[in-house]
Amino acid sequence: MTRHQPTDEAPPPRTPTHHLALRFSNTRRGARLARQLAVQQFTEWTSLPHDSDPARTVALVTAELAANAFRHGSLPGRDFRPVLLLLPSALRIEVTDTRPECLPPRTTPQPADETSGRGLLLVQAYADRWGS
């Protein structure tokens, strides 16, 4: 969902200018390769350097979504699929795990001393910051 300021102009088109979808093995190596490929493709599409803030954000978001697909949606012999869509004013990152028929359980916030369980909060924070 994208926030728009009210204007007299039509909203920007949501048709991707670039699109990439691949399948990766549902392993740690597959998750790492998905992150590396996402950053590589993003920097090629935008001509931004690998060490730019947007490229680092792409790496973080892709890594978290791919790791969640690996950890929580794993089935032997089934791959996960990251999709990158470069829109005129945004980059959309989607990851479909190997169990798309199963929704994750609702969770409650973890105590501050927990070492895991906050990755999607990071993804949400970036999405909010970017207006999505």
Domains and CATH numbers, the chain: 18-99+119-127 (3.30.565.10)
Residue 3's pLDDT is what? 41
Exposed (0-12), middle (13-18) or buried (19+): which is 122, by Cβ within 10 Å?
middle
Between 119 and 71, whose confidence is greater?
71
8 vs 48 pLDDT, higher one: 48
Of 52 and 26, which is predicted with more confidence? 52
| 73-122 pLDDT, tens digit each | 667 767 888 999 998 888 888 888 766 566 655 655 555 556 566 666 77
**117, containing H or E segment:** none
Whole-number average pLDDT of the chain: 76
